[in-house]
Every structure is written in structure tokens, then in C-alpha cells.
Amino acid sequence: MGKKRKKNEKSPAEIALLVESVMAELEVTAEEDAELNRQGKPAISKLKKLPLLTEVLSKKQLQPEFLDHGVLTLLKNWLEPLPDGSLPNINIRAAILQILSDFPIDLEQHDRREQLKKSGLGKVIMFLSKSDEETTSNRKLAKDLVDKWSRPIFNKSTRFEDVRNVDDDRVPLRRPPVKRPANRAAAMESRDGDFDLDISRDQKSRRSTSAQDASRLESSSRLHASRPDATPMDFVVRPQSKIDPDEIRARAKQVIQDQRRLKMNKKLQQLKAPKKKNLQATKLSVEGRGMLKYL
């Protein structure tokens, strides 16, 4: 007889059915957030379902089944920026990056490598590792994932000896040899036999240089703009003045008359004003000086 299953242990068919239902629910959640973001509303559907995502993906017995059902594509949809370009909630990003760090993705298998490439998850992780909007801890997790995944995909070894051997095999850079001029004595000997030839060459070179200089002068005179000559500023016709001297004199006289009139009015007002009586009390003398005598 076969071995009996435990009460809580599920059959492969039940596990597959559970994974399919959870995957469908999480995919709908990602689509809901995208639609809410297009409408300008807060995308909180994934944040509500985040506990479910972390719970099911942390179970070791369900992880291979989730990989077979394309969970990497689902995680890519959860991690990628929203339609308006904003990143998902920081808690979502941190939780998924932590899950991927512990997820058993065996990239030595050809099927798993192809699955990771087709999912597009690697591009999103690379984007987060270089994004300035991402936190330092999340960038470090993303960078570690990129290094971890890129070595099996690009057949890079993690052994220090292999890395050192690759460095040793590199050909060191060498500077090209500098050509040194020949000895002066040999140069003088060769010039003695070709003295006449050198003279003719010098004459030809002088003629060519003079012709080149002349052509350069002509081209430079054509290309450069000429300086304009200064125009004389001597005017023959005097412009008509807009100021009337008679009008200015009349205004000045009017101002003087107004000032005089104001002064006269001020003096008249001072003369017309009633004089204030001196109400100071008279001082009485003890001896009776200044007192009126009544008969």
C-alpha cells in the first residue's frame, strides 16, 4: 500500500489549482492599479494584496509551481512603473526584491534562463538598480540580483582563479615605437650628391608656397567681412526746435505773479485777523499802588 498523505498535505493537482487561482487574482490586481493610475486615482490594489503575495511566494513547496506558471512575468508587472511613469509603492518594491533574492531560480537550467529572459523581469530590476528614485537598500538588492543572474546567462564564472586568469590573458598595452631621425653625418653625405636636385626642389617649393600664400590671402579677403567706414556726422540742415521761448517766458511770468498774489493774500489775512487781548492777571501791590480810588 502507498504511503498515506497527511491531512494538511495537498495533492499536486490541488497545488496547481491553488497557484492558478492566486496568479489570476494577482494579475487582475496589477491591471486594476494600472487602470486606476490612468484615471488619476491612487493605485492601492496591489498594496492591499501584498500580504497575499508575500505569503504564497514564501512557501517553499509552492515556489517551483509558481515558476512553472510564469510568476516571473507577474512580478515584472508588479514592479514595472505605472502608466504615468511613477514607481509602485516602496513597500511593494522592497517586498518583491526580497522575495526574488531568496527565490530558488536555477539558471543553470536552460528552461529557467529562457523563462527569465522572456519575462522581462531582468530589465525592470536593472532599471531599479540605477534609478535615482529608488532607495539605497532596494538599489543594492536590485544590483545583487543583476550580478547573480547575469553570470549564468553570460557564462561568467564566480571563481576568483578564473577571473584572475582572464586578467592575466589580456595583452598589455604597448606604445608604438617612436621613429628616430637618421644620423646627421649620413644625411649630409646623401645631400652632397643631390645638391643640384635640392636647389631645384627648393625653388619649386618656394614658388608653390608663394602661390599658396597668394591664394590664402585672396580666400581670406573673400571670407572675412570688411569693416564699414564711419559716416560723417556733420548736419547741414538744423532740425526745427519743438520748444517755444515765448511760451516759456509767459509761464515764468505767470509763476512769479502767482507767488506774489499768494504772499499778498497771506498778509491781508494776517491783518484782518482779530488781535488777541492780553488776559494776564494784574499784580496787586500791598501798598495799594495801581488801585483805583472810588469816591
What CATH code is carried by the domain that includes residue 133?
1.20.930.10
Residue 194 scores a pLDDT above 90:
no
Residue 94 resides in a domain: yes
Give me the pLDDT at residue 284, please.
61
Residue 287 resides in a domain: no
Residue 244 resides in a domain: no
Q: Which pairs from 205-212 meet CB under 8 Å and 24+ separation?
A: none
Counted domains in the chain = 1
Residue 277 resides in a domain: no
Q: Domain span at residue 149?
A: 12-162
Output the nine-digit C-alpha cell for 12: 499536486
Residue 199 scores a pLDDT above 70:
no
Q: What single DSSP character describes residue 162?
A: H
Across all residues in the chain, what is the average pLDDT?
75
CA dihedral 208, 209, 211, 212 (to 10 degrees): 120
Give me the pLDDT at residue 246, please.
79
Overall average pLDDT of the 30-34 stretch: 93
Give me the pLDDT at residue 167, please.
42
Residue 25 resides in a domain: yes
Residue 243 resides in a domain: no
The overall pTM is greater than 0.75: no
Residue 69 resides in a domain: yes
Confidence of residue 267 (pLDDT cuts 50, 70, 90): confident
Residue 224 resides in a domain: no
Rounded CA gap, 218 and 214, in Å? 6
Question: Integer distance in angstroms from the first to the last C-alpha of the chain?
Answer: 166
